[in-house]
Amino acid sequence: MPRIDLPAGPVDYTDTGGDGPVLVFAHGLLMNETLWRSVIPLLQRDYRCIAPTLPLGAHRTPMRPDADLSQLGVARILADVLDALDLTDATVILNDWGGGQFLVSDGRADRVGRLVLASCEAFDNFPPRPARPAVALCRVPGGTRLFLGLLGTRVVRHDKRAWGGLSKAGIPDGVLDDWFAPATRSADIRRDLRKFCVGTPTRSTLLEWASRLSTFDRPVLVVWATEDRMMPPAHAQRLEQLFPNARRVQIDDSWTLLPVDQPHRFVDALRDFVPLA
């Protein structure tokens, strides 16, 4: 897997190559590029698909000890990926983690031609309410290791009131093993995970950043699962109204992880939104 050496540290990524429109896929906490394993194969013939593994706990190599891994810091790492790959007019696609919106708030969206917000964190829903006990656990000594230990149990992995609430179809244990292994085995990656988990700003700061999103006048697609258990469906309408050039698509029979639960319908929405040259 290719790797970019950024100021914050190394970032692995997949890149299908090609001359088609560029799609950049981001992922959520304790996930990696395989979140998009059912989506990218349906698009790679016509689009250049790039999926970085951001430092959200499932990254395979630790970041530098002084790296800023707050919400804004990780958004800046995503912007650095776009810079390092010299991408222009890229479509940035967010699912679960919504911090990529802060490229706009931070003035780093010059390489973004389109934005896709797919059942992701927004406004003051950082982290989503069901995830807040786990984030609180990471604030206490030894809490991050305990959190990862709980993720090794079936009840936390698959119960709809816990991690299992992300996907209606269910995430295979083999995929979860891959996502959780780096932080389970590496103290340095647990350090990175903890920095992100405790790096969310105050509610007033989040809402102030959200107010700046209206400055993004390029096309925005808001794709939301009507049965989402983590990201309030009402946020989809608020986002559509906030951006000056946005449209909304609702997808039934899915929870937060649309690329897992409804990959074909998600791909249809992307193809309709991002025209081929």
pLDDT beyond 90 at 131 = no
What rounded mean pLDDT belongs to the chain?
A: 96
Residues with Cβ < 8 Å from 98, sequence gap 6 or more? 117, 120, 121, 122, 125, 126, 231
DSSP 8-state symbol, 120: E
Question: Which of 8-23 are b and which e, b meaning 16 or more Cβ less than 10 Å from the residue's Cβ?
Answer: bbbbbbbbbeeebbbb
Check if the beta carbon of residue 96 is closer than 8 Å to that of residue 28: yes
Identify the band that residue 235 occupies on the pLDDT scale cut at 50, 70 and 90: very high
pLDDT of residue 135: 86
pLDDT tens-digit profile of 3-42?
999 999 999 999 999 999 999 999 999 999 999 999 999 9
Tokens of 67: 């790296």
Residue 176's nearest CA partner among 201, 198, 157 is 157
pLDDT in tens, 150-180: 998 988 888 887 889 999 999 999 999 999 9
Nearest to 81 by CA among 16, 3, 21: 3
pLDDT at 277 over 90: no
Write the pLDDT tens digit of every residue in 66-106. Answer: 999 999 999 999 999 999 999 999 999 999 999 999 999 99
Predicted confidence at residue 155, as pLDDT, reads 85
Sign of CA dihedral 79, 83, 84, 88: positive
| Residues 236-255: tens digit of each pLDDT | 999 999 999 999 999 999 99
Per-residue model confidence as pLDDT tens digits over 99-111: 999 999 999 999 9
